[in-house]
Structure 1
Amino acid sequence: MSVSGCNDFFYFDRLKLAIESAMGLSRRFLSLVVDIRIPGAQSLCFVDLTRHKLFNSIPALPLNINTSESEGPQETTLPAGNPKNGMRRIRLPAPGINLRSSAVGFDWYMDCFPLAGGNLLCTDQSGRATLFNADTRSVESMPYLHKPKSLPVSISVPWADDNDGGVSVFIMERAPRLEQGDARALSSQFEAFTYCRPSTHSTKFWQHQLLPPPPFICNPKYYVDTSARPRIRSYAVLGGGSQVCMSVDRAGTYSLDTVTHTWTQIGDWILPFVGKVEYVPELKLWFGICAKDMQLGAADLSTMDMDSQPQLVDTWKEFEAPQEWTEVQPSQLVNLGSGRFCIARFFRTPSLMSLFDSDGLDEEYFTVLTGVDVVRCVRDGNGTANINDGNEKVELRMIKHNSRRHMSYGGDGTIKLVF
């Protein structure tokens, strides 16, 4: 894997920090991994939220409890006629850095995994791993994967009891194959990188190890349907970093102890989300994209057992897509801190290109980015809801801000990942 630039290794002239605290409680920059239509190559871009205005100021006056979220501070993004014409368009800035997979084999590809602090871990078809560090504006080599992953998921977990910046990164096959033998044996389908300072060393460095697989991987009953393996549908960090939880279609929900690396089945049910689920400590809830209707949802995952499947506390629709728009890949949720989120949705829509075309129709692909806040509102005696005030009955409200669209397959690339 290489990093392109003026000396073919590094390119930091336009590099910006992915995380800044310039706007109070939220981040200033939104990080994007962009496909630049070169085999095995990706670019990392940083969108300045102060310039593109995904977010307005939260209103100072109390919200009336009977007022719908649609009356909050937002733009009119979908007027009559062509709804795309009512949304401001984002043109991506110049890449902060360009990454490309190693020239090994004929099938070049790269997987990118967001980590805490705006960092980015990249792996390629050879198993080579590279870390982009947003704080130091540098790229460093990581230990190779024991085995390249075909469709991986990743989750990073800062060490809760470590003040020295320790972190673990778990990389897992999304649709793992059946394995024979003891579930306690190590599996190349589940691996971990750990950044720490061992007791015998004075500096921190990355270590790498295989993990035991979750129990269902060694149970043939979950693989009766040979046409579809069990698939990780959602995953989250629990217990302040002490556990990684994952829900698997047809196999239930499991937790991994991040210290002992032992698996426990929590229940036969699965979480009501798809993709990564984010914890917001200010609201004491976990947020994600709902599996049922793809809306933003919240649930309490603090207590779970075999008989108590978590239920959604509330859901919100931040974007109403026209009927002719088709989502082409799963939506992505970015936790910007303190109940502020960016939601990325990916669409395809028919487009009238030319009267002289043989059939007159073509398709357009684009990404819609929407900024929202989820806040606590407390009902008072006057029938109003005061944001984050008091200890009475609390309700969650979504404040929808603005939506921006980016056309895919253009000169500045196609958005693949938002974090």
Structure 2
Amino acid sequence: MNRRFVNLVLVDYDTRIHSLFRLDVAKHLFYPSTAQAETANAKQETNNGGGGGGDNKSRKPPRLKWPKLPRFKWLGRLLEPCMRFFQYPPADDGDEEPEPPWRSYEVDAFMLLRPGCSDGTILHATNGGRTVIYDADKNAICATVPFFDTGMGGEPVVFSIPGAGSEEKERLYVMRSTFASPVHHYDHRRYYYHPRNNDEDDEDHRCSGDFVVLDFNQQQPYKWQHLPRPAFVVDKGCSAGSHFRIRSSAVVDGGRTIVVSADESSNGYSIKCSGGVEFTYWFDTATRQWRHAGDWALPFSGRAEYVPELNTWIGLSSTSPHHLCAIDLSSAMDAGDRAPPTPHHVWDDFTLPVYEESSAVLNRHHPQYVLQRSTEWWPEKHSLVNLGSGRFCTLKVFFIRRRECVGFYEPDMDKPDDEEFAVLTGVEVVRCHDGEEEGGLRMVKHKSKRCVLDHDHCLF
């Protein structure tokens, strides 16, 4: 299914209101045809617009002006949201007591309930697990999905696997993106995990509500089925206080296998930063069993999407600034745990501007008084939405810091001028024309729109 809209949720932390906006991708992010997009790209390259990293030698040195930023068209003021989701009373949200202040930053979860059929059937889940379904096409609320047994966090990992035949319906898999270490017992050397002796208790612990599936082939009323927690939570024998975070995920083997890569952190610090390893596990949806693929990570960040027209997976690379890339995960399945897959295409969908600075002497009789200005960019968040037929929407949030100092003052002594904004881009991946790389792929960039996100967000 080719999607017409992308869904953007903005969160107001003061009121805990989640506002849903729907963006028409044909209006804002895509040209009517691939040829028109290529013509616009050629014109933009001629004018050296839309990105940083141009030839600075050919330009006159800047004086008192701030360094120029890449040129983007503004998305414009967002219209009124199509729906607002208010905070449930604590008693209705599965909490016996009022929420402590530290939970106020956690956002609710939003996901497409049946993305293979509609881009407007949205499942909203609160921190306490309460769910409600909003049909954006009909602008109506319905409640036909049971509540989660536990909160799934603000960024759950969601997989929608279509049925094998025309008569079989979809299955929706939902997994927490973070997992706390299991119960540990202490000895004089370290904390160890010891399985429970009671088989029934151990089964309940192994199949907790952290990983569930909703099978639409069941008879109504539907029910979330508990699945085994990822094996790395137990296999790694982590110490107390450790947490696991899923960094990347994909669906392979025609929907039979879910693959996730994760790393371990302790007290908020990633162990991989201190020389540790990441690891990848496969989950067989038929046997409902996990197996270890290897102590390596998938080479993308977030979710990679399979594009049947191109017979490849498209995602955002795991290294900054997270360019669009193509990966063949079927070969990784055949290779076993010998080596991690590597991208066979990486495209520069946005060139991050380089660090720039300018200076000017304020008074020629006092050359020591110099006005210095600098602009520095770095990426913060990113996400990718599959629109169907090789088309994608990327959202990248950037942080800009402008500094200004005069004379002998150090830049750190002056308060910087900080700005955060997002860039929405429509991209298309197509096969190369005749005469180009045989069997290769190329990316065609369509439109980029700049918008300011004053609140936390979710794009799906």
Distance in structure 2 (CA, Å) of the matches to 1:379 and 1:325: 39
More strand by share: 1
Q: Contact (CA 8 Å) 2:314, 2:326: kept in 1 or not?
A: yes
Alignment of 1:352-367 (within 5 A): 359=414, 361-367=416-422
Whole-angstrom distance in 1 between the partners of 2:329 and 2:13: 40
- Paired amino acid for 1:217: V
CA-CA distance at 1:415 after TM superposition: 6.1
In 2, the alpha carbon distance for the partners of 1:195 and 1:238 equals 19
> Conserved in 1, the CA contact under 8 Å of 2:171 and 2:213?
yes
Alignment of 1:306-317 (within 5 A): 306-317=337-348
Q: State the one-letter code of the partner of 1:49.
A: V
Deviation sequence 1:233-263 (CA, Å, 0-9, x none): 1111112222211112245211222233221
Given that 1:195 and 1:206 are in contact with CA atoms closer than 8 Å, whether structure 2 keeps it comes out as yes
- Asked whether 1:403 is paired with 2:448, we answer yes
Aligned length: 366
* Kept in 2: contact 1:350–1:363 (CA 8 A): yes
Match of 1:93? 79
**Alpha-carbon separation, structure 1, partners of 2:232 and 2:155:** 18
Aligned to 1:188, the other structure's residue is in SS state coil
Change (3 A) 1:45 1:152: closer
The alignment partner of 1:230 has SS state of: strand
Could you tell me which of 340, 344, 355 is aligned with 2:395?
A: 344
Specify the SS of the correspondent of 1:286: strand
Counterpart of 1:364 in structure 2: which amino acid?
A: E
Quote the Cα distance in structure 2 between the aligned partners of 1:73 and 1:27.
Answer: 27
**How many angstroms does 1:149 deviate by?**
3.4
Structure 2 residue 5 is matched with structure 1 residue 29: yes
**2:386 corresponds to 1:335:** yes
- Counterpart amino acid of residue 291 in structure 1: S
User: Does 2:323 match 1:295?
Assistant: yes
CA contact (8 A) 1:42 1:98 kept: yes
Offset at 1:139? 2.6
Write the distance in 1 (CA, Å) between the matches of 2:231 and 2:394. 33
What is the aligned counterpart of 1:46 among 7, 19, 22?
22
- Return the TM-score normalized by structure 2: 0.71
More helix by share: 2
Amino acid corresponding to residue 111 of structure 2 in structure 1: F
Q: Deviations over 1:298-336 (max 9, x none)?
A: 11111321114212111011111223122222x101111
Task: Say if 2:180 and 2:242, in contact at 8 Å, map to a contact too.
Answer: no
Identify which range, 80-89 or 240-249, moves more after superposition.
80-89
Cα deviation, residue 196, structure 1: 2.0
Residue 16 of structure 1 is matched in structure 2 by: none
Asked which structure has the greater CA Rg, the reply is: 2
Does the aligned pair in 2 maintain the 1:177–1:229 contact within 8 Å?
A: yes
Q: Is the 8 A contact 1:370 1:403 kept in 2?
A: yes
Residue identity matched to 2:21: C
Distance 1:101 1:53 in 2: 32
Contact 1:143 1:207 in 2 (8 A): yes
CA drift of 1:184 comes to 5.9
Structure 1 366/310 Cα, relative in aligned 2: closer, same or farther at 3 Å? same
Q: Is the 8 A contact 2:124 2:131 kept in 1?
A: yes
SS at match of 1:394: coil
Partner secondary structure for residue 180 of structure 2: coil
Partner of 1:388: none
Report SS of the residue matched to 2:78: coil
| 1:285 has 2:312 as partner | yes
1:199-348 mapped onto 2 (5 Å cutoff): 201=219, 204-221=220-237, 223-224=238-239, 228-249=242-263, 250=277, 252-293=279-320, 294-303=322-331, 304=333, 305-323=336-354, 324-329=376-381, 331-348=382-399
Helix, strand or coil at the partner of 1:398? strand
- CA 1:162 to 1:327, structure 2 compared with 1: closer, same or farther past 3 Å? same
What amino acid maps onto 1:77 in structure 2?
A: G
CA deviations on 1:32-62 (whole Å, 9 max, x unpaired) are 112245432211111123332443521189x
Aligned CA distance change for structure 1 residues 112 and 262 (closer, same or farther; 3 Å): same
Distance 1:60 1:42 in 2: 36
Gaps in structure 2 of 5+ consecutive residues: 55-66, 91-97, 183-193, 197-201, 264-276, 355-375, 407-412
Q: Distance in 2 between the 1:78 and 1:152 partners?
A: 30
Which residue number in structure 2 is paired with residue 144 of structure 1? Answer: 147
Structure 2 partner of 1:9: none
Distance 2:71 2:43 in 1: 22
Name 2:458's counterpart in structure 1: 417
* Contact 1:348–1:364 (8 Å) recurs in 2: yes
Decide whether the 8 Å contact of 2:12 with 2:456 is kept in 1.
no
Q: Which runs of 4+ in 1 moved over 6 A?
A: 72-75
Shift of 1:367: 0.9
Preserved contact between residue 230 and residue 251 of structure 1 (Cα < 8 Å): no
Distance 1:70 1:402 in 2: 9
Q: Name the amino acid aligned to 2:457.
A: K
Partner Cα separation in structure 2 for residue 82 and residue 326 of structure 1: 16
Match of 2:94 in 1: none
2:181 and 2:241 in contact (8 A); partners too: no
Name the structure 2 match of 1:377.
432
Structure 1 unmatched ranges of 5 or more: 1-20, 386-391
In structure 2, C-alpha distance between the alignment counterparts of 1:197 and 1:377, rounded to whole Å? 40
- Structure 1 residues 259, 134: closer, same or farther in 2, change over 3 A? farther
CA apart distance, 1:359: 5.0
Q: Shift of the alpha carbon at 1:348?
A: 1.7
CA distance in 2, matches of 1:315, 1:300: 13
Tell me the amino acid that sits aligned with residue 303 of structure 2. Answer: K
